[in-house]
Amino acid sequence: MQEPFSFQAPARLLDFMRQADQPGLINLAAGVPGLDALPFDALRESLEFAVKTDGAAMFAYHHPEGDHP
């Protein structure tokens, strides 16, 4: 019977994740979108609306079927 092969990747996943914010680098290993691809203003407005309308309840757990209202 052969001994198990011990595989050691040349770089760790955390090293790839640390590279994700380097300008000009497209790191396909990390699977992280570029910050310029996020609709920041729309996300901010949505969060502000949710906080104003739901308050702290927006962080509560809801029914498994979803939020009834």
pLDDT, residue 18, reads: 72
How many angstroms separate the CA atoms of 41 and 27, rounded?
25
Is residue 8 a part of any domain in this protein? no
Residue 20: predicted pLDDT? 67
Are the beta carbons of 19 and 25 closer than 8 angstroms?
yes
Q: Tokens at residue 12, please?
A: 């760790």
Which residues make Cβ contacts (< 8 Å) with residue 13, sequence separation at least 6? 29
- Residue 27: the pLDDT is 67
Task: For residue 3, tell me if it sits in a domain.
Answer: no
- Please give the C-alpha separations between residue 40 and each of 7, 45, 46, in angstroms, as whole numbers: 40, 9, 10
Range of the domain at 37: 13-59
Overall domain count for the chain: 1
pLDDT in tens, the chain (69 residues): 677 777 665 667 677 667 767 777 776 766 767 778 889 999 999 999 999 998 988 888 877 887 776
pLDDT value of residue 7: 61
pLDDT at 53: 93
- Confirm whether 22 is domain-assigned: yes
